[in-house]
Every structure is written in C-alpha cells, then in structure tokens.
Amino acid sequence: MSSFGRSYTPTAKALHWTMAALIVVAAIIGIYGAVFLHYGVDDAQTALKIQVITLHKNIATTTLFLIALRIVWRLTHQPPELKGMSPVMVKAAHAGHAVLYVLMVLVPVSGWANSSAAGYPIPVAGLFQIPHLVEPNKALTPTLSALHEYLAYALLVIVAGHIAAALKHRFIDKDDVLASMLPGK
C-alpha cells in the first residue's frame, strides 16, 4: 500500500460528504421533477411538481453556499500531497477536481439564472429568497433550462468518474487516497 500523506481536515471531509449527499439528492429530485412531473396535467401533479422543484432549489442554493465555503476552505488549507502517484495521474487528479469545482458552481448558478428568467422565486433552505440573477425573460428559459440540464448531467458524469477514481485507488492501487477522505480517519 502506497502512502498518500496526511488526511484531509475534518472540515474538508464534512463539506465533501455533505455536498456529495446534497448533489445526489438534488440530482434525483431534479430528474424526477423534470422527467416524471408535468405542469398542467392536473392540479395535483402541478402542485407536486412545484413542491419537488422548490425542494430541488432549496437543496441547490444550500449547495451553492457550501461550495463557496468549500472553495475558501480549499484556498486556505492545503490538501494532502498526492504521494506515490505518477505526474500524469497527479495532473489528472488536479484537473478532475478543478472541473468538479467549476461544475459545482455552474450547475446551481445556471438553475438560479433559469428560475430568475422564468420569474420564479429562488429559496435558500426555506429561510429566505435570493434576488434574481437575471431579469425575468421567458424567452431565455428554454436556453437556460437546457444549459442547466446539460451542466447537471456533465456534473454527474464527473462525479461518477470521481467515484471510480476513488475506488481504483482503494481496490487496484491499494493506497490511502480514499481513506484520507473518510470520516474518522
């Protein structure tokens, strides 16, 4: 088993796993709302869609605030060295993390812009609403909705790659990379 270096800080781990859970839940709820629920079919389905999308927005805006905190934490706390990895793998890991961070910002921001263009409220954890990012303009919503959807799917692909890389480290490379991010390690 190769050495990875020290472990991530407890705060970094908490942010990582909280955001991982929120991203998965937001994705499931978002896909469910977009694919299975439709406005105007009947009053019950319309009401359910509004509730589902409101929950999705609450989770997404919470995630956006957490990614801001996570970026500040990452900039002020050096992550562990990637010891025992080839230079190519180190660059791939850094590139993968950079893409993850960019998408973790762009996905909720694109959803925020889409809701703003549609003129809908953007709740934060059910506590308050954030102002619109763009002026209401229904003509923009198809484009912004598609952008949000494609970015969300890209994020899910990158997350799947991130999980695959972590499992590769654990079961093929037999190093400490995955263990360094687990709570209590």
Task: Tell me the one-letter amino acid at 96.
Answer: G
Write the single-letter amino acid at 66.
L
First-to-last CA distance in the chain?
A: 16
Return per-residue pLDDT of the chain as tens, 185 residues.
444 557 899 999 999 999 999 999 999 999 999 888 877 678 888 889 899 999 999 999 999 999 999 999 999 999 988 888 899 999 999 999 999 999 999 999 999 999 999 999 999 988 999 999 999 999 999 999 999 999 999 999 999 999 999 999 999 999 888 889 998 86
Cα distances from 150 to residues 42, 105, 113, 156, in angstroms, run: 28, 14, 14, 10
Q: Identify the pLDDT of residue 125.
A: 85
CA distances from 140 to 64, 75, 111, 137, 164 (A): 22, 35, 12, 6, 36
CA distance 185 to 170: 14
- 74 Cβ partners below 8 Å, 6+ apart? 12, 101
Element (H, E) at 122: strand 122-124
The domains located in the chain, with CATH, are 10-181 (1.20.950.20)
